[in-house]
Every structure is written in C-alpha cells, then in structure tokens.
Amino acid sequence: MTGLIRSELRKAFTTRIGWGMPLAQFLLAALFVGIAGAFMLFVAVPGPTGGEGAPMGNSLEPTVLARTLYTGGMQVGYLLSLVLGILSMGSEYRHKTLTATFLSAPRRGRVIAAKVVALTIVVVVNGLAHLAGALVTGGALLLAADKAVFPEAGDLLGVLARMLLVFVLWGLMGLGLGVLIPNQVAALFVGVAFAFLIEPLLGVFIGMVDALADVARFFPSQASMAALSLYEGMDSATVEQAGGNPDQLTWWVAALVLLGYAAMMTVVGWVLTQRRDVG
C-alpha cells in the first residue's frame, strides 16, 4: 500500500501541473483576497439613508473581518481542488496508463485507496499554498487599514483548518467524477460548470422559493461556506448585502454534508473501477 501511495505522489508531483497548481493556488488566493479586501477596507458603501457611507469592514468585529478576508478566495480554492481530483483519474484514462497501473496492482480497491490518500496529501499541499497567498495578501491589507491581523488566533486557525478539510472533500468529489466520466475534458467541463455556475445559481433560485429555501443550504457551495462559519457574527443585512444566506447550517453539520457528498462520489468511483473494463 505504501508503494502505491508513493507511486501516486510521484505521478502528482513530477508533472508541470503538479508544481504549477500550488503556484496558481497562491496567486489566485492572493488576487481574490486582494480584490475583496480592497473593497471591504477602502471602498465606502452608502448608508441606508443614502448619505456618506463607510467601508463595510468598519462595521465588522475584528475576528469576523479577518475570517471573511482570509477566506475570500475559498471558491477558487475548492474549484481547483475539484480539478485536482478529476485529473487524478482523468489523466490515467487520457494517457491510457490505467491498464499498466492495474497490472502492477491487480487489486483495484487498493489502487483507489492509494489514490484517495495521495490526493488528500496533494490537496493539502495545494491548500497550504492557497492559505499562504490569502494570509500574506490579507494580512498586508489589514495592516494598511490599521486593523488587527490575526485576532483570536484559535478561532481563525480553526476556520483555516476547516478550509483545508473543505478543499480535500471537494478533491474527493472530483476523484469520483473523474471515474464517472472517463473523458477528462468532459469531466473537467461538467465539474467546473456545475461547481462554478450551475450549482450556485440553482441554489440562489431555489433559495427564493420559501418552500425550498432549506434545501439550498445543503448544496455543496453553501455547505462549504457554512463549514467555515463564514457569516457568523454578521447581521442579516450585511450577509444579504454580501450576497449570502444568513440562515446557514452549523459548521459541523455542513462538514458532514460535504463528507457525505465526498463519500458518495468516492464509493461511486470505487464501484465503477471494480466493474469497468479497462482497455
């Protein structure tokens, strides 16, 4: 098993995308956090009466502000984690190396287990690069605005750790999708389109229907935000102004929801790999 995991890690880190993805995570996290932070800290928002306003960050508690800022690139982070999961299987189908993989390790379940462990490590490495970009940029902006950089360290460290967990679970969803759709290009298109456009928009529309509003809270994107307690400490008006849903799941329920999605997709991948002929 150790040899299989080592082999999967070698596949992941000896390619250009294996080294380029952490850099992309760092840069994109810095970009998205920079844009969100500049708006929250330095752009005045008109008050309710239309008079002279103040930056949104001025109305937030220091911990809430830091948490919101450091998680500002979360969506692109879990999207890239999904891509990593798809590529972990899709590249095998695309380059027709899956046959050789199964010949070297005939027990397919062990191969999938090794891929799950290796993918978890790869996503955590990429997630740490994402956190580095978010913390460097967000910290610099908070310093420039004369705000606390890391208030209530225990709370923030918990949020950042849960963000890594969210990334890993999205990566496992991608692994299952990569098996479900063997064509790598099609799997990437479906996965990215669903995660970035279809599912968030569907959640917004369903949230507008009172009878279905609770259902939207269990969608992957909304569960991801809830797992980080993203809107905790904000009033409903501020949450709605930011485009969010103030009625979120508790963080541990949201984490269990994401774990359920990841487990379901991983099991689908395991079952299909056991039964599918490989040529």
pLDDT digits (tens, 9 = 90+) for 21-36: 999 999 999 999 999 9
pTM here is 0.90
- In the predicted model, is pLDDT for residue 244 greater than 90? no
Query: Which pLDDT value is given to residue 267?
Result: 86
Query: Which pLDDT value is given to residue 245?
Result: 65
Overall average pLDDT of the 90-97 stretch: 71
Domain spans in the chain, listed from the N-terminal domain onward: 2-19+71-129+149-275
User: Which pLDDT band, with edges at 50, 70 and 90, does 120 fall under?
Assistant: very high
pLDDT digits (tens, 9 = 90+) for 124-178: 999 999 999 999 999 999 999 999 999 989 999 999 999 999 999 999 999 989 8
In order of 122, 218, 227, the CA distances from 215 in angstroms are: 32, 6, 16
- In the predicted model, is pLDDT for residue 49 greater than 90? no
User: Which pLDDT band, with edges at 50, 70 and 90, does 60 fall under?
Assistant: confident
- In the predicted model, is pLDDT for residue 48 greater than 60? no
Query: Which pLDDT value is given to residue 237?
Result: 63
User: Which pLDDT band, with edges at 50, 70 and 90, does 6 fall under?
Assistant: confident
Query: Which pLDDT value is given to residue 189?
Result: 94
Query: Which pLDDT value is given to residue 19?
Result: 86
Q: Are 63 and 233 in contact (CB under 8 A)?
A: yes
| Range in 2-6, 54-58, 213-217, 239-243 with the lowest mean pLDDT | 239-243
Query: Which pLDDT value is given to residue 77?
Result: 96
- In the predicted model, is pLDDT for residue 101 greater than 90? no
With a pLDDT cut of 90, the percent of the chain lying above it is: 49
Query: Which pLDDT value is given to residue 272?
Result: 78
Q: Which residue has the higher pLDDT, 103 or 91?
A: 91
Query: Which pLDDT value is given to residue 242?
Result: 57
Overall average pLDDT of the 234-252 stretch: 70
Query: Which pLDDT value is given to residue 126?
Result: 97
